[in-house]
């Protein structure tokens, strides 16, 4: 297939060649079950899992025993939110999150709300930033959790996580962060955080594997398991481990430690070139703060065009999205852009560009040229 230029790395990333090479033996020669404790097939698999656990832990400044492997960030977030809700079953419960969280958080919050929890959805300003004073004012005596993402998947805006962690600690509240878009892209440290969701396929690892960081040696309690049947992963998440996927996750983590800082500098220059080229068009607007954002992400709105037509035409040559991957087929404007106060017509006519390891200067120049021509043609034909 003649694929278009790929500028949708926030949706998923290609597996690095080194990751694929590391995984392959665990589909064949080393096929053992990591829970098989009585023979070498199981021992080899178990050791590979523990080596990967250590590698992922190093990426976020954690201890290996604090990482629970899951099928991905959605499961990790469900385990964290619903597991804490179940832990305090029968008590009055209050949770704080934000209007711009990923649907895995928002839908999980809606579910515990249906079961009786109170949930506060914090607003953000026009730049996608939180008011930390409002966050602290929202804490109540029965607040059990603050859940806020590290970096937004649509705009790249980075929240002040350490300041949020300090607020949570001050009030003795569990702090969960969805760090999926941040881990492997910017320095992330688990210090002061109680629960953190990660995903391998956002950092050049395989799909179908993620992790939940669960802080140890702290007085705040841990979530209750949501999957039962064997007590795997210290009882937090039963089920046969995806050994090849976990091995790939570990290898991807090692690579990101080596490459992340230098890559961010390169991608920021390319991202800025992309933006400057497209902002030359009249009626193009950048969405989100430019003070604190991921180096590889740009979210732009294009006035005077219809959103669905824009996305379809641009994607003939440039693979981009109009929001998060799980909601990119929806004709509705992004809930993130809506929360920022962006009008519906502009919200629908917005594109998220997210660059990655395989993005070259030629890719960016071609993208600028193509998107400009698409927008001009659509405007002239309307």
Q: Would you please indicate which residues are annotated as catalytic (active-site) residues?
A: 326
- By C-alpha distance, which of 149, 129, 258, 265 is closest to 203? 258
- By C-alpha distance, which of 38, 76, 41, 40 is closest to 56? 76
Angle at 182 between CA 251 and CA 250, to 5 degrees: 10
Place of tokens 């068009």: 281
SS (H, E, C) the chain: CCCCEECECCCCCCCCHHHHHHHHHHCCCCCCCCCCCCCHHHHHHHHHHHHHHHHHHHHCCCCHHHEEEECCHHHHHHHHHHHHHHHCCCCCCEEEEECCCCHHHHHHHHHHHHCCCEEEEECCCCCCCCCHHHHHHHCCCCEEEEECCCECCCCCEECCHHHHHHHHHHCCCEEEEECCCCECCECCCCCCCCEEEEEHHHCCCCCCCEEEEECCCCCCCCCCCCCCCCCCHHHCCCCCCCHHHHHHHHHHHHHHHHHHHHHHHHHHHHHHHHHHHHCCCCCEEECCCCCCECCCEEEEEECCCCHHHHHHHHCCCEECECCCHHHCCCCCCCHHHHHCCCCHHHHHCEEEEECCCCCCHHHHHHHHHHHHHHHHHHHHHC
- Find the length of the chain: 382
β-pairing, 174-178 with 143-147? parallel
Contact 62, 190 (CB under 8 A): yes
Contact 269, 136 (CB under 8 A): no
């Amino acid at each position: 297939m003649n694929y278009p230029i790929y500028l949708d790395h926030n949706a998923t990333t290609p597996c690095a060649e080194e990751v694929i090479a590391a995984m392959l033996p665990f589909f064949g020669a080393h096929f053992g079950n990591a829970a098989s404790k009585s023979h070498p097939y199981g021992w080899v698999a178990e050791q590979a899992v523990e080596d990967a656990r250590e590698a992922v832990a190093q990426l976020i400044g954690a201890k290996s025993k604090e990482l629970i492997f899951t099928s991905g960030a959605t499961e990790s977030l469900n385990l964290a939110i619903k597991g804490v809700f179940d832990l305090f079953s029968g008590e009055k419960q209050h949770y704080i999150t934000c209007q711009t969280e990923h649907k895995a958080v928002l839908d999980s919050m809606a579910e515990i709300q249906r079961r009786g929890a109170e949930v506060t959805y914090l607003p953000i300003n026009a730049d996608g930033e939180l008011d930390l004073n409002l966050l602290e004012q929202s804490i109540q005596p029965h607040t059990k959790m603050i859940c806020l993402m590290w970096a937004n998947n649509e705009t790249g805006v980075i929240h002040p996580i350490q300041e949020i962690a300090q607020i949570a600690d001050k009030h003795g509240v569990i702090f969960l962060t969805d760090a999926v878009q941040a881990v492997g892209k910017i320095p992330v440290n688990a210090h002061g955080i109680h629960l953190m969701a990660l995903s391998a396929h956002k950092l050049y690892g395989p799909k179908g594997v993620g992790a939940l960081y669960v802080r140890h040696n702290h007085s705040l309690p841990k979530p209750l398991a949501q999957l039962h049947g064997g007590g795997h992963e210290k009882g937090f998440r039963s089920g046969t481990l995806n050994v090849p996927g976990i091995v790939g996750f570990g290898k991807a983590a090692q690579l990101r430690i080596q490459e992340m800082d230098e890559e961010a500098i390169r991608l920021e220059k390319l991202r800025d070139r992309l933006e400057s080229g497209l902002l030359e068009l009249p009626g193009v607007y950048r969405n989100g703060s430019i003070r604190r954002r991921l180096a590889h992400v740009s979210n732009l709105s294009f006035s005077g065009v219809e959103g669905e037509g824009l996305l379809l035409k641009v994607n003939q040559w440039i693979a981009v999205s109009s929001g998060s991957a799980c909601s990119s087929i929806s004709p509705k404007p992004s809930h993130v852009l809506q929360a920022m106060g962006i009008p519906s017509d502009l919200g629908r006519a917005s594109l998220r560009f997210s660059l990655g390891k395989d993005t070259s200067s030629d890719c960016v120049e071609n993208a600028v040229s193509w998107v400009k021509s698409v927008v001009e043609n659509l405007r002239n034909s309307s």
